[in-house]
Each structure stands twice: as structure tokens, then as C-alpha cells.
Structure 1
Amino acid sequence: MRQALIVEDLPDVREWLADVARSAFPELEVTTAARAEEGLAQAASKRFDLALVDLGLPDGNGIDIVRALRREQPDCLAVVVTIYDDDDHLFPALQAGAFGYLLKEQAREALVAQLLRIADGEPPLSPPIARRVLSLFGQAGAPLPPPKAEPQTLPPSPVRLSEKETVVLQRVAKGYTLPEIAQQLGLSRHTIAEHIKHIYRKLDVSSRAEATLEAARRGLVR
């Protein structure tokens, strides 16, 4: 394991993932990318042994990078690292060729331990993800669910935040800092940062003040 690609748009999370990867494989030379376009360019120009890829990127979906690596560099082990543990994110990633699927809410030590499983030829899977996959294939050898068909046209839809995103946004609106929110909810600050990133995208805002005003205008928080 010599070369690693990390695709993550949040700088502190990107550095955290680089540290996790080097802790598992000290000899790694790490290349980073903050956007899908950069990740695809790196995948086209350099050979990698390992890739840690976020799904929600400012200019696209990390699944496109996983798919490109699978096609162009079949020996590269692409591992998704995300906050999403639902089927709509998990199974498209596996179908695209992801070798593993890790959740950011885990402790650093747990992520390192799961990456170390690669040395034994085992896919790194967070426990909830492993249980979900085993449950599915325990159903008489059921295949992966087919990907959802893309609709031809979609009418504008109202903003919908998940229950966790709503809780995080309420605390943002009350002025709590990211570390304070993480402590209150018992999650890592990296996971809270991911939630805030997706909240900003859903509300089409770029600051705490804008998020608070937009959320209040839409009736998402009071």
C-alpha cells in the first residue's frame, strides 16, 4: 500500500482522513482532492492503491469517482467514507465498485482498525453497514437492489431536512459552536461538520446567518 487518494471537500475532515490512512499504513503517500472534478482528474493521471471517497461533494457525487477508479484502476481499493448509512447511498456505492463503506461518526481508532482489515483481504465495513449487507444477502441470496431510475423531469420540491439535520440546524440557529453541538449530540465534530455541509446545500446558503434566516423563513426551525 503506497499511494492513496482522499476526496473530501471539508479541509479539517480531509486532514483527519489523511491521518487515519497514514496511521493504518505509515508508508502511504497521500494525494488529496476537494471536489469531484479534482478527484476524477487525479484518478485519470495517477495510480493509487487506496482511495477514501466522500459521497457529497460540491460539484458531484463521490460514486462517480468510485466508478471511474473501478473502470480505470481495478487494483485500487475504493472505500466510501460518509455519514450516510441508508440503502439509497450504500447499494449504489457497492454497485459502482466500492471495496468498503465506513461511517465518519466512528472514532478514529475504529476507522484505523477497519482499514487494517485490508491487509487480510477483508473489506472495511462499519458494523451497521456490515449488518445491513449480511441481512440483505441472508434473504435467500437476494441480489443488490436495482438502482433507482432517474426521472425525466422533476418539479421543484420543498426542502426536506432529516431529523438529525433539523436538530443540528436548531442548535446552529441558537448560536452553538460545532464542538458544542458535537458534544450535545454525542457525535464527532467531523460528523456534525458533514451535517452542516449538507444543510447548507439543501438550503442553498453559505453561512450560519443565512442558514438561520432561511430555515426560519421556510418554517424548519422556530
Structure 2
Amino acid sequence: MNSLQQRLSQVQEQIRSFAVSCDRDPTTVRLIAVSKTRPASEIREAWEAGQKAFAENYLQDALQKMPLLGDCDIEWHFIGRIQSNKTRAIAENFAWVHTLSSLKHARRLNDQRPATQPPLNVCVQLNLTGEQSKSGIAEQELAPLLEKLTALPHLRLRGLMTMPAATASTAEQHQLFAQLRQLLEQMNEGGYALDALSMGMSGDMRAAICEGATMVRIGTAIFGPRT
């Protein structure tokens, strides 16, 4: 194996080990490889090694790479900041959106999702740390937004997403991720069939998995440092 394949294998083993240590089934945690700024050749290499789901932050960068990988059965996830002038391209080219945080964008994504494609899977992003530099809604805004999202037939409401502060301690990571899990449980008690918790990156993956993450978004640990 080359270094990229080795790193991918190591991340997969870490996910398995962390899940087992928390008495979880490792197959309930999906690895989403964050390929932002990485060339199509590296994405293809990871795909050939068995990785099928890739996440992009920057729409134009993603749109340039997608045609080069058209022969690969990649499941594309959008994890960047949503802008109104980009919703059509997101709706047309991605299977998942992790960063939905407004009804306006939800309506645009719904209206612009091609009828020939299945509903767009969406996670609502929450800003539970109150950082102004981060997108996402506050906890009290969640239930009203979910109620409105259920009326959009071309979106499939799947779950919730969040990120801890970069300086968060391990204990603070656990606390934040547990808070998101509890919110998902509360929403499901209210009748929503949410099944996705998108949380955890290279530096806080263990805490996220132990608190119930179903999708971890890992970039640097797979592709190496960005230049």
C-alpha cells in the first residue's frame, strides 16, 4: 500500500477501535473523506482503495473535479457554507448537504433539486458554541425549522451536524457531541425519524464516536496536511 492507502486504512481501523471501545457496532459509523482542495487523482486513489463517500467545502473546486471522476460511483457530500447563488449547483450535484441552517436555502434546494434524482439528504447545522465565525442555528431554532422542512418533498431530513470549538478540551468535545445527540433524541420523540449525527473530525473523532456519531468527516488524517 502507498501512504494514502495506509492512512485511509489507519483511519478505518481507528473508527473500528473507537467504536468497539464505546460498545458500539463499528458498521454504524460512516467515514466521510473530506477531499476539499485535494486533486481528483487523490480522490480516485482513495476511491480505488474502497472509500465511496467524499465531502467538499468549496463548490467551484468540487464542480471542477466531479467530471474527472464521473466513472466512479462517488457519493458527494457538501459541507461548506451555503450561499443562495450556489444552491442550484449544490442541489444538482450532491447527494448530501450537512450544513443547512436556513429555511430560505432549504426552499431553494428543494425547488432546484432535479425531479430525476432522489430527494436530497440534509442535516441541519447547529452552532452550539455561539461562535460568530461558525454557521448554524441555535438550539431553540431547531424544532420550528424542522417542522417547516417536512413540507419540502425534494429534501429528505436525515439528521443534525455540529462542530466544537477548535480549542475545546476532550471533556468539552464530549459535552457538545452529547448535547447534539440529545437534541436528535428529543426531535425524534416529537415524531421526526432522524438517523444521522454528522460530528467528529480528525482531532475529535473519538469523542464524537463515543457520543453517537453516525458520520465522521475526516480529511487531514487521510490525505495529509494541506498545502
**TM-score, length-scaled by structure 2:** 0.33
Q: Which has the higher strand share?
A: 2
Instruction: Please tell me whether Structure 1 or Structure 2 has the larger radius of gyration of its CA atoms.
Output: 1
Q: Which has the higher contact order (CA 8 A, sep 6+)?
A: 2
Which of the pair is proportionally richer in helix? 1
